[in-house]
Structure 1
Amino acid sequence: MIVTLNAYNVVAARCAAEYLEMTEDVEKGNLIYKIEVFLNSSVLRSWKDSIIVLQATKSLLPWSEELKVAGRCVDCIASKTSVDPTNINWSYTYNRKLAASDEIVEIQQRMHTVPNDWWVEDICELDVDLYKRVMVAVKSKGRMSSDMIGEALKAYAVRWLPDSYDALVADDYMKRNRTLVETIVSLLPPDKCSGCSCRFLLKLLKVVILVGAGDTLKEELINRISMQFHKASVKDLLIPAKSGGDTIYDVHLVQILVGKFMVHVSSSHDINFVDKSESRFVEINTEDKTLLPLGKLVDGYLAEIASDPNLSISSFVDLIKSIPDAARPGHDGLYMAIDIYLKEHPNLSKAEKKRICGLMDVKKLSAEASIHAAQNELLPLRVVVQVLFFERLKASTGVSAPTSDAPRDASMSRATLEEDWEGRASEHHNSLKQQLGSLKIKGDKCRNSDEMKCRSTKEKSSGLLLPSRSRRIFDKLWVGKGQGETIKSSETSGSSQSPPICVKPGEAKSSVMGTVAMA
């Protein structure tokens, strides 16, 4: 009888020979000796055969462990991953997704060079416990970079962790998925600032929460994510809230991530938090490159969660105040989030609306956002008047009114925010162009040529076309009609008025500026 040994049956043959005691003591050149020669000279020298044999050892425990077949395979695989790619002459699997434009170039390069992560896909076929042993051995050799370890873990997670919510929490796979994510987190590189992307870590955090993997893993991932939180995307932050929660998404978790990120930023600048007006702020260098993407990220997330009818005003306000002013050179994104929140929560009181809108600086709105805000009936009247005033002020002075503490590249970030606001606002509002068309006002005929010339000059200098109601309100504030004219400032509630103020003809403009600023 002739038996042909190969990578698939050699482990079973070795265990059977050991059980039958087919040793050299019985006969020289017995079966155990022949199998050992085959393992050392053929199987363990082959990259793919070593992986096949290692996978086969799991079904033959504890014999395969006692005979050290599994251990030898692990050492062999780990050693081969550390070989210089230029010296690799064996076959391996490399089926990474390539962009259409790069596919031909990548294939040509692959014919001549071996990528550094050539070994990643083949070991993804191992079961989770064997995969952990291999990765521990690879890391122990100290020759693999953190980025490469992170790439290997990401490939394994993509291979085995399901994408759908139902598959993750299904009773038949819950335990398996929990073991998978626990293993992957335990193998993360020791350097928390590199190795794994923020997006990958957030996906792991989502799985940890859904499968109930434990608070220890959750804290570990939160600490890692908080160090590169500004690199996340809004979609990555949409983590479902726990069952029984009030909100759709876990807003409290995002607040924790933002808070920890701000602690890291402040510590990197050797700055401590200080209390101001019962709120916590931190004075940070406005040129910090992490703040601008952070502001855009938080405002985008606010716009997503603002439509949740169960989102409390305290959670919404706390998240707005969680980042410093330097992270928001423009307030278009914040205005959009506030507008959505006001629409989805029509039962807010005037005091609550004032509390929310008070967090928005109308001087930091773009021209498009100001036009929208000027005819937004959901905003308090005080805010509308402030928008009209500052837009007319900017038009008359010919400046865009940037903030004094804006970073040097604030113009670029502001343009980005404006594009983001325009794109996202189309989902929640009617076409802005149609609204602009409805705002055009034709000037009434003037009684004499001097008045017509004056009004024509003002119309050309003003970049903001206002509805008639808002125009009448603003004209009363801006233009003094003579000595003894009184200017009245309406409160948000409309229930009280300030005492009349006598204005001299030469002081009309400055008096109005002071009145609106105090309002």
Structure 2
Amino acid sequence: MTVTLNAYNVISARCAAEYLGMNESLEKGNLVYKIDVFLNSSIFRSWKDSIIALQTTKSQSRMCEELKLTSHCIDAVASRASVDVSRVDWSYTYNRKKLPEENGNDPNLNGIRSRMVPKDWWVEDLCELEVDLYKRVVITIKNKGIVSSEVIGEAAKAYAYRRFPGFNKGAFQFNDVSKCRPILDTVVWLLPSEKGSVSCSFLLKLLKASISLDSGETVKAELVKRIGQQLEEASVNDLLIRAADGEGTMYDAHVVQKILEAFVMRDMDSEPQLEDGDEIQEVRKPGILSEASKLMVAKLVDGYLTEIAKDPNLPLSTFVGLAEMVSNFPRPGHDGIYRAVDMYLKEHPGISKSERKRICKLMDCKKLSVDACMHAVQNERLPLRVVVQVLFFEQVRANASSGSSTPDLPKAIRDLNSASYGSSRSATTNTEEDWDAAASAEELRALRGELAALSMGNGGTNDKVNVIDAKSHADRAAMSKMKGLLMSKRLFSKIWSNKGGQGENSGSDSSESLGSANNLEEAKSTPSRKGRHSVS
């Protein structure tokens, strides 16, 4: 009887021969010897046959381990994957789109067809392996030290996409959690340590999957740390991680806070060292944050806050906590955080005056663009004090751009700018609450009229306020109320205390200044505000 050996049956035949004792001790040239020769001369020299043979070891795993057949198959596969791409001349699976030069269609080759093999040519074929064998093969490839970390990362990515349907689109479908969890843990464990070996978007997909599968805290912590190392590459969509059932909120902001903490920790990656003369020198490591990275993350957080602010159950403390984590990052403009604050105020109309005041401290009115200012001065959700600040800085910017001097201000504001608090301490609690209350439409019109009067040089005393465009009874009543507010030097001292105080944010009483760029030279004269504008 003739038996034809091939990649599908050779491992079983080798195990059977060993079991039957058909080795050299019985007779020279016995079956064990012949099969070993066939494996080394044929099977292990073929890329796909080596993979097929490795897969068949699962049926006789114990004996294959004892005979080291599994190890030989793994080493054969790893050796082939580590060969220089210029020497790859065998068939392999590669379904992804190739570059023109990889197809030999590069126009720069002047008609000379050259077959180029992609560096990650082998990753799709290994996706056929079960997770335990896949892990051992990739570890062996990594230990050889020939394949780059980017290719190893691409292999892990391809395996995750193959094993988890919908993973590429962020739609996780785990039919058997007990089987999927070890696969995910293995993919995370195999990720190269080098930054950039996989994209931040892929890492965030892994984190979302680990949360869905309820993976161990070690796996989640490792992913959070790695995401923090390259957070500037992420998008707002990547960060929108659904909260677990029963959490009460739509998105898991707590895990994003952990990611931000990991990102900020990179900025502490510097060590003071003593040099000659006992002079301390700061040695900065490659992971240190650049100003560009901080700016990108600040914009990312602004966009993220705008999205999660739509959740009616989002606590104010969570929103403010995330915003404050990037408050010291230099940003040329504050339109992004203004959008986020406005969205929160829109979706949470029932918050108290103190909460409204607290969230508005996150903004710097000096750093709002002209469009944002146009929106803010008509925004009835903002506290009155914020609207006053926006109007004031808009007028300063308009005069700076036109080359004219800043108009005379009422004495209350002049005293405030010079840090002269005087003895005006008689403002009542009701007046203080008026400043923190949302501005009404009538008050907004009255404020714009007051500022227009100042721009024409008609203002300048602390007891006379020139009212224009207050034709209706409601406008006159609102303007009368504004007179009382404008006369309180104590309240203006609080609003403008950053002029001579502790570096406070101009968008609030006490929030920290986020930078000094005012962009005055880019501003235009304030246009008409008769319509409501939208900043998106």
TM (norm. structure 1) is 0.74
User: For residues 52 and 108 of structure 1, what CA distance do their matches in structure 2 show?
Assistant: 33
5 Å-filtered alignment, 1:87-486, equals 87-97=87-97, 106=103, 108=105, 112-163=115-166, 168=172, 170=174, 172-191=175-194, 193-268=195-270, 288-398=291-401, 468-476=445-453, 478=455, 481=458, 486=463
Identify if the C-alpha distance between structure 1 residues 24 and 104 changes in structure 2 by more than 3 Å, giving closer, same or farther: closer
Identify if the C-alpha distance between structure 1 residues 327 and 295 changes in structure 2 by more than 3 Å, giving closer, same or farther: farther
Which residue of the partner structure matches residue 455 of structure 1?
none
Identify if the C-alpha distance between structure 1 residues 49 and 483 changes in structure 2 by more than 3 Å, giving closer, same or farther: closer
Contact 2:362 2:508 in 1 (8 A): no
The one-letter amino acid paired with 1:261 is: F
State the SS of the aligned residue for 1:383: helix
Write the deviation string for residues 68-101 of structure 1: whole angstroms up to 9, x where unpaired: 2111011111112221111122111111145xxx
Contact 2:138 2:190 in 1 (8 A): yes
Aligned CA RMSD, in angstroms, stands at: 3.4
User: For residues 250 and 52 of structure 2, what CA distance do their matches in structure 1 show?
Assistant: 45
Contact 1:385 1:473 in 2 (8 A): no
The one-letter amino acid paired with 1:381 is: L
Write the deviation string for residues 270-326 of structure 1: whole angstroms up to 9, x where unpaired: 79xxxxxxxxxxxxx996221111111100100110001111111111111111443
User: For residues 488 and 356 of structure 1, what CA distance do their matches in structure 2 show?
Assistant: 31
Identify if the C-alpha distance between structure 1 residues 473 and 63 changes in structure 2 by more than 3 Å, giving closer, same or farther: same
Write the deviation string for residues 101-152 of structure 1: whole angstroms up to 9, x where unpaired: x568746369522122112111111110000110111111122222221111
Identify if the C-alpha distance between structure 1 residues 50 and 338 changes in structure 2 by more than 3 Å, giving closer, same or farther: same
Contact 2:232 2:296 in 1 (8 A): yes
Write the deviation string for residues 197-227 of structure 1: whole angstroms up to 9, x where unpaired: 2222211111222211111111112222211
The one-letter amino acid paired with 1:472 is: G
TM (norm. structure 2) is 0.72
Which residue of the partner structure matches residue 51 of structure 2?
51
State the SS of the aligned residue for 1:108: coil
User: For residues 343 and 518 of structure 1, what CA distance do their matches in structure 2 show?
Assistant: 19
Contact 1:169 1:211 in 2 (8 A): no
Cα deviation, residue 242, structure 1: 2.4
Which residue of the partner structure matches residue 30 of structure 1?
30
The one-letter amino acid paired with 1:346 is: P
Cα deviation, residue 497, structure 1: 2.9
State the SS of the aligned residue for 1:337: helix
User: For residues 120 and 507 of structure 2, what CA distance do their matches in structure 1 show?
Assistant: 61
Which residue of the partner structure matches residue 412 of structure 2?
none
Paired-residue identity, %: 50
Identify if the C-alpha distance between structure 1 residues 130 and 473 changes in structure 2 by more than 3 Å, giving closer, same or farther: same
Moved more, 477-486 or 44-53: 477-486
User: For residues 221 and 399 of structure 1, what CA distance do their matches in structure 2 show?
Assistant: 52
The one-letter amino acid paired with 1:471 is: R
Consecutive aligned runs of 4 or more in structure 1 exceeding 6 Å deviation: 164-167, 488-491, 493-496, 516-519
Q: Which structure is richer in relative contact order (CA contacts within 8 A, separation 6 or more)? A: 2
User: For residues 201 and 97 of structure 2, what CA distance do their matches in structure 1 show?
Assistant: 18
The one-letter amino acid paired with 2:225 is: N
Which residue of the partner structure matches residue 509 of structure 1?
none
The one-letter amino acid paired with 2:186 is: T
User: For residues 170 and 366 of structure 2, what CA distance do their matches in structure 1 show?
Assistant: 47
Q: 2:485 aligns with which of 478, 493, 497?
A: 497
Write the deviation string for residues 451-497 of structure 1: whole angstroms up to 9, x where unpaired: xxxxxxxxxxxxxxx98555324235555537756257999x98963
Contact 2:150 2:197 in 1 (8 A): yes
Structure 1 unaligned runs (5+)? 272-284, 401-438, 440-465, 502-512
State the SS of the aligned residue for 1:17: helix
Identify if the C-alpha distance between structure 1 residues 103 and 166 changes in structure 2 by more than 3 Å, giving closer, same or farther: closer
The one-letter amino acid paired with 1:497 is: L
